[in-house]
A and B are shown apart, each in its own frame.
Chain A
Amino acid sequence: MIRFVLADLRRLWAVSLVIVLLVALATALGVAVTLQERALRLGSARAADKFDLIVGAPGSETQLVLSSVFLQPAALPLMPGEVLTKLAADPRVAWAAPIGFGDNFQGFPIVGTTTALVSGTTAGFTEGRMFALEGEAVVGSGVDLPLGAEVKPMHGAAGEGGETHADSTYTVVGKVQPTGTAWDRAILVPIQAVWHIHGLGEEHEDEAHEAEEHHDEAGEEEHHHHGRIDADAPLVEDFDHDVPGLPAVLVKPKTIADAYKLRQEYRADGATRAIFPAEVLTSLYATLGDARTVLMYVAYGAQALVAAALMLIAVIHVAQRRRQIGALRAFGAPRLAVFGIVWLELLLLVAIGVGAGFGVGYGAAEFMAGLFTAQSGVRLPVEFTAADGVLAVTFLIVAALMAALPAALAYRQSPVEALRG
């Protein structure tokens, strides 16, 4: 029977191809949506993995996560620098590092931070070493700059009327291992350099005033505050006095209990807020899940349409094959064999389509994930789970049931009438 079915499908290759394509596309749509949503969830969770606790000024928690974990450019309100001083000295804190953003170079965000954060969030260097002077920079694995390259920070985004800090230049001295996070696209520099470029810190300005101004004017920082870096100045990372206002501090608590206590403490005092990025992401996933649900309904709709189209094709197909089916019966093929042939042919086509659809869906999800990674640096793991297997089996069961209808038509068809036609 299989041989006959295969010969038949070869003979009807055009129709078969159309059926396979229809099924494949409808399947691919659902598979791509599922895989992509899962990849986004896994990828963002992994990206936030190293970010235990973030302390920032009061404002949107989501924005704080997006800006610090995903380095999405946005104007964050600043909190007083003493927060960092206090955190750094807290016995419950393993390390606390400032995250200062705002500048970029060739589209890569420049993040001012400390050696503690670089060592704490990466797995070491693929080449070069940690920055040791104010004018040195370490780049993420996704930053296309060689060691020794010069980085001229630009304020605001290029193409949006950004302005270069013409007289300040960093030298790339190290490249860190890939982390699969947005930080792979970051250029990491000493926080003190960022402060100096923007005329903060050493000038002993009024921090409260500074913080307030940043708070109000957000990203469009005042041009008259520009300073320059002192490229050969040694690193100072004690943060025990005169720390300028900061958008965010990444805190590595010693224990989980410490993490909860710290969050409680820095959430309560009104001047700051403390968040677990993982928790904020969970609420984002709920939104993502809603979007997925909508897209899945679209996919279900497409699948239902394809199923209906297939039924139509199958019924017409059986009608067109009346003579052939009638002849089979006349020559002594049992009715069940006729049922089996029609059923098997359809099921085989749908199975091939579903298989191809999973392949195409996977490919599409991988492709989209690749685009996303290229743009954001966050690596999205596109992977199948057992649930997808269940989905595939469900498709096949539905197809098996649906194929039974035209097969039953063929089964019931009288061979005489078929041959007379």
Chain B
Amino acid sequence: MLPLALSGLAISFAGLAEPVLTIDRLTLPAGGRLAVTGASGSGKSTFVNLVSGLERPDSGVIRWQDTDITTLSESRRDRWRAANVGLVMQDFHLFAGLAAVDNVLLPARLAHAATAEVKARALALLSRVGLPRPGQSVETMSRGEMQRVAVARALLRRPGVIIADEPTASLDAEAGAEVGRLLIELAEQEGATLIVISHDERLTERLDRRIRLAAGRIVADTAPEASS
């Protein structure tokens, strides 16, 4: 369970005059549930990339508990992310040709972190997200089932934070509701901080706090003062 503290964050892309994202200050307590909304191009994806350590800001601090990930090298950010962040993305990014359980285990295996305990946990998580056949090949699954595999994968290494980028956008309403419910339940159960980027109101309204981005700035926050 990791608390987040952002300050003085700014990032620009070459060729664009305006910064893509500017956040003066944002904090989220450990175990907090944050929804980030906004139109496309508002900086939502950049937000995900920054807080997950995929990208480094031009300036500012991104502190997860005691670690300012902006000071880490790319390889160390990779390691930090592998150990602390569970990512769920709109496009699932499952690997065809591998069984569900192998997909869940793949990042851990590639990082040489797939112990017997981790393998047992992979099976337990698949069963928890309602997939009784861990050996099923992912390309034979429905989109809802695929995203549930991705949720299990995100939770495998007991991350301190779960970051979901439009987790329900490519699912039908029913499957989306199921995935949303699982994310919230599991984050609570596992004691993980949860950040969901989504424009799916049925999902975002179930989270404690919602911020809205427009043109790279926070333009609305359901709890502007409570956080600081």
- The answer to whether A binds B is yes
Q: Which residues of A contact B (CB under 8 A)?
A: 1, 3-4, 7-8, 10-11, 323-324, 327-335, 337-338, 341, 414-416, 419-420
A414 to chain B, nearest CB (A): 8
Other-chain residue from B49, B96, B97, B110 in contact with A328 (beta carbon distance below 8 A): B110
Task: Give Cα A329–Cα B107 distance, bound, in whole angstroms.
Answer: 8
A8 — nearest CB in chain B belongs to which residue? B97
CA distance A25 to B208 in the complex (A): 64
- Chain B stretch 84-137: residues in CB contact (< 8 A) with chain A: 85, 87, 89, 93, 95-98, 102, 106-111
Given contacts A10-B97, A334-B75, A334-B110, 5 further A-B pairs with CB under 8 A are A4-B95, A7-B96, A7-B97, A332-B111, A334-B78
Interface mask (B60-96 → A, CB under 8 Å = 1, otherwise 0): 0000000000000011001101110101010001011
Asked whether B97 lies within 8 Å of A1 as measured between CB atoms, the reply is no
Query: In the complex, what residues of B have CB within 8 A of residue A419's CB?
Result: 54, 89
State in angstroms the CA–CA spacing of A7 and B54 once bound together. 26
Inter-chain CA distance A278–B83, complex, in Å, is 73
Please give, as numbers and ranges, the residues of chain B lying within 8 Å of A333 by CB-CB distance: 78, 82, 106-107, 110-111
The docked-state distance in angstroms from the alpha carbon of A110 to that of B8 is 101
B153 interface residue, CB < 8 Å from A?
Answer: yes
Given A3-B102, A331-B87, A335-B78; A420-B45 close (CB under 8 Å): yes
- Report if A330-B52 is in contact (Cβ < 8 Å); known contacts: A1-B109, A335-B75, A337-B110: yes
- Say yes or no: A334 contacts B95, CB within 8 Å: no
Q: Are B78 and A329 in contact (CB under 8 A)?
A: yes
**A330 CA / B96 CA spacing, docked (Å):** 17
Chain A residues whose C-beta falls within 8 Å of the C-beta of B82 in the assembled complex: 331-334
Chain B residues whose C-beta falls within 8 Å of the C-beta of A11 in the assembled complex:
96-97
Is residue B55 within 8 Å, beta carbon to beta carbon, of the partner chain? yes
> In the complex, which of the residues A7, A337, A416 contacts B98, with contact meaning CB atoms closer than 8 Å?
A7
The residue from A324, A332, A415 contacting B95, defined by CB atoms under 8 A apart: A324
With A1-B109, A337-B110, A420-B45 given, is the CB distance from A331 to B93 under 8 Å?
Answer: yes
* Residues of B contacting A334 in the complex (Cβ-Cβ under 8 angstroms): 75, 78-79, 82, 110-111
User: Which residues of B have CB within 8 Å of A330?
Assistant: 52, 54, 81, 87, 89, 93
Cross-chain pairs A/B with CB under 8 angstroms, 18 sampled: A7-B97, A7-B102, A8-B95, A327-B89, A328-B106, A329-B54, A330-B54, A330-B81, A331-B93, A332-B82, A332-B83, A332-B111, A334-B79, A335-B74, A337-B111, A416-B49, A419-B54, A419-B89
Residues in A whose Cβ lies below 8 Å from that of B110: 1, 4, 328, 332-334, 337-338, 341
Report, nearest first, the 8 A-B pairs whose CB atoms are least far apart: A332-B82, A7-B97, A327-B93, A333-B110, A337-B110, A331-B107, A332-B107, A11-B97
What is the CA–CA distance of A1 and B74 in the complex, to the nearest angstrom? 22
CB distance from A344 to the nearest CB of B (A): 12
- Is the contact region of chain A dominated by helix, strand, or loop, or is it mixed? helix
Question: Which of chain A's residues have a CB closer than 8 A to the CB of B97?
Answer: 7-8, 10-11
User: Whole-angstrom distance from the CB of B77 to the nearest CB of chain A?
Assistant: 10
B4 to chain A, nearest CB (A): 18
Pair A332/B74 contact, Cβ less than 8 Å: no
**A416 and B106 alpha carbons, distance in the complex (Å):** 19
Complex formed: what's the CA distance from A324 to B94 in Å?
9
Q: Which residues does chain B contribute within 8 Å of A7, judged by CB atoms?
A: 95-98, 102
Give Cα distance in the complex from A405 to B74, angstroms. 20
The answer for the CA separation of A333 and B96 in the assembled complex, in Å, is: 17
Neighbouring B residues of A10 by C-beta, 8 Å: 97
Task: Identify the closest chain B residue to A10 (Cβ).
Answer: B97
Instruction: Chain A residues near B109: list those with CB within 8 A.
Output: 1, 3-4
Give the most central of A10, A323, A332, A341: most B CB within 10 Å.
Answer: A332
B16 CB to closest chain A CB, in angstroms? 14
B58 CB, min distance to chain A CBs, angstroms? 14
Contact in complex: A332, B81 (CB < 8 Å): yes
A8 neighbours in B (Cβ, 8 Å): 95, 97
* Cα of A337 to Cα of B111 in the assembled complex, Å: 7
Q: Which residues of A contact B153 (CB under 8 A)?
A: 331
Chain A residues near B79 (CB-CB < 8 A): 334
A40 to B52, CA, bound (A): 66
Tell me how far the C-beta of A97 lies from the nearest C-beta in chain B, rounded to whole angstroms. Answer: 71
A415 contact set on B, CB distance < 8 A: 54
Rounded to whole angstroms, the CA-CA distance of A323 and B93 in the bound complex is 8
Residues of A within 8 A of B95 (CB): 4, 7-8, 324
Q: Which residue of A lies closest to B92 (CB)?
A: A327
**What residues of chain A lie closer than 8 Å to B107, measured between beta carbons?**
328, 331-333
Residues on B with beta carbons closer than 8 Å to the beta carbon of A416: 49, 54-55
Interface centre among A10, A327, A328, A341 (most CB of B within 10 A): A327
Mask for B140-162, Cβ within 8 A of A = 1, else 0?
A: 00000000000001000100000
Chain A residues within an 8 Å CB radius of B89: 327, 330, 419
Assembled-state Cα–Cα distance A320/B180 (Å) = 31
Q: How far is the CB of A321 from chain B (nearest CB, A)?
A: 11
Residue of B whose beta carbon sits closest to that of A9: B97
Task: Note all chain A residues with C-beta closer than 8 A to B78.
Answer: 329, 332-335
> What is the CA–CA distance of A8 and B106 in the complex, to the nearest angstrom?
13
| B-chain residues with CB within 8 Å of residue A324 when the two chains form the complex | 93, 95
Q: Give the complex CA separation of A416 and B50 in angstroms.
A: 10
Contacts of A414 in B (CB 8 A): 55
Question: How many Å lie between the Cα of A11 and that of B55 in the bound state?
Answer: 30
Shortest Cβ distance from residue B97 to the other chain A in the assembled complex, whole angstroms = 4
Separation of A420 and B45 alpha carbons in the complex (Å): 9
Q: Which residue of B lies closest to A340 (CB)?
A: B110
Q: Which residue of A lies closest to B102 (CB)?
A: A3
Q: How far is the CB of B14 from chain A (nearest CB, A)?
A: 12
Chain A nearest CB: distance from B136 CB in Å?
Answer: 14
How many angstroms between the C-alpha atoms of A8 and B55 in the bound complex? Answer: 27
- B98, A4: Cβ atoms closer than 8 Å: yes
The residue of chain A having its C-beta at the shortest distance from the C-beta of B83 within the complex is A332
